[in-house]
Amino acid sequence: MPIDASLVGRKSEPLTRSWTSDDALLYAIAVGAGQEDPLSELQFTTENTAGTPQQVLPTFCNVAMGAGMALPGDLDLTKMLHAEQAFELFDTIPVAGEVESTGEIVGVYDKGSGAIIATESVSRVPGGAPLAKIRTSLFFRGYGGFGGERGPGTSWERPTGKPDHVVTYTTRADQALLYRLTGDRNPLHTDPSFSGRGGFPRPILHGMCTYGFTGRALLHTVAGSEPKRFRAMSARFTKPILPGQTITVSIWADGTDVRFQTTDESGAPVIDHGTAVIL
């Protein structure tokens, strides 16, 4: 099945997802929690620290709760890049839990050199209220030119003033090997032969790993390290980084509205169009 507007409205089957305390701990470590100082984020990296109950990083919802994407089965995944990711939380993520999620293709856009497929999933506690809404946009190189809409524009601009917060993290050389254990086994991030077919000389770091590092920076600087205050996050991926490289997160806060941008060692954006809602 080719990529075109006829895919809009295609839904996945309902999917029951569950996670344990260990899953949440592994995710936290995979996105750098405790990496610089093992004692600094114990509420996310341990479950038995005296006086420190375990909590869950808000960005974990993208790993724990996403539904199937209902994509055509004949797409060349070496041509796929993560374009955008957004989530909205309606409650704090429990340390362990179960949700039922259903995914739907909500947009197909023709970018000329490629096509974007946008999916959205809603995750509900069985028999209860929604816990999270997750939106993912994937860019498929070489699949454009079918005459479809280019998609909605954006009014996001990098603030001109000095950031309110600047956070720098250095990823590990084996960061991709660690992050893949959270569930994303795409060989683009580990297999040199696969990444070579995709046009990359070396395996690149998962965009969602960089996204998780960025979410930690937002949580600790703007939300006071309190997950209950972190309600939404949206961002666009602009270029990959390699495991072992350093990233810098610049954050501008205006009340509950937050804008951010993540750059690489050269200052080039790797994540931009960043917005978050922090209560």
pLDDT confidence of residue 13: 87
What is the Cα–Cα distance from 110 to 125, expressed in whole angstroms?
35
Q: Which of 8, 10, 7, 26 is nearest to 184 (CA)?
A: 26
What is the Cα–Cα distance from 100 to 80, expressed in whole angstroms?
26
pLDDT confidence of residue 219: 98
What is the percent of the chain with per-residue pLDDT over 90, rounded to a whole number? 73
Q: Check whether 1 has a pLDDT greater than 70.
A: no
Are the beta carbons of 229 and 215 closer than 8 angstroms?
no
Q: Check whether 238 has a pLDDT greater than 80.
A: yes
Q: What are the beta bridge partners of residue 132?
A: 89, 123
pTM of the full predicted structure? Answer: 0.93
Q: What is the mean pLDDT of the chain?
A: 93
Radius of gyration (C-alpha) of the chain in whole angstroms: 18
Q: Which of 26, 62, 109, 74 is nearest to 207 (CA)?
A: 62
pLDDT band at 157; cut points 50, 70, 90: confident
Q: Check whether 224 has a pLDDT greater than 70.
A: yes
What is the Cα–Cα distance from 82 to 208, expressed in whole angstroms?
8
Beta strands across the sheet bearing 165-170: 15-19, 97-110, 114-124, 130-141, 80-89, 230-237, 269-278, 257-263, 246-254, 165-170
pLDDT band at 81; cut points 50, 70, 90: confident
In terms of C-beta density within 10 A (0-12 exposed, 13-18 middle, 19 or more buried), how is residue 162 classed? exposed
198 vs 37, more confident:
37
pLDDT confidence of residue 198: 79
Asked whether the CA dihedral 165, 247, 133, 64 is positive or negative, the reply is negative
What is the Cα–Cα distance from 186 to 78, expressed in whole angstroms?
9
Asked whether the CA dihedral 183, 188, 193, 194 is positive or negative, the reply is positive
pLDDT confidence of residue 145: 86
Please, how many CA atoms are within 13 Å of residue 178, restricted to the half-sphere of its CB? Answer: 20
Count other Cβ atoms within 10 Å, centred on residue 239. Answer: 14
AA letter at 214 = T
146 vs 93, more confident:
93
The 10s digit of each residue's pLDDT in 22-69 is 999 999 999 999 999 999 999 999 999 999 999 999 999 999 998 777
pLDDT confidence of residue 122: 94
pLDDT confidence of residue 245: 98
Q: Check whether 2 has a pLDDT greater than 80.
A: no
In 3-state terms, the chain is what percent helix, strand and coil (to 5)?
25, 35, 45
pLDDT confidence of residue 147: 83
Element spanning 212, H or E: helix 207-222
274 vs 186, more confident:
274
Q: Which of 191, 186, 204, 193 is nearest to 242 (CA)?
A: 204
Catalytic positions, written as ranges:
184, 189
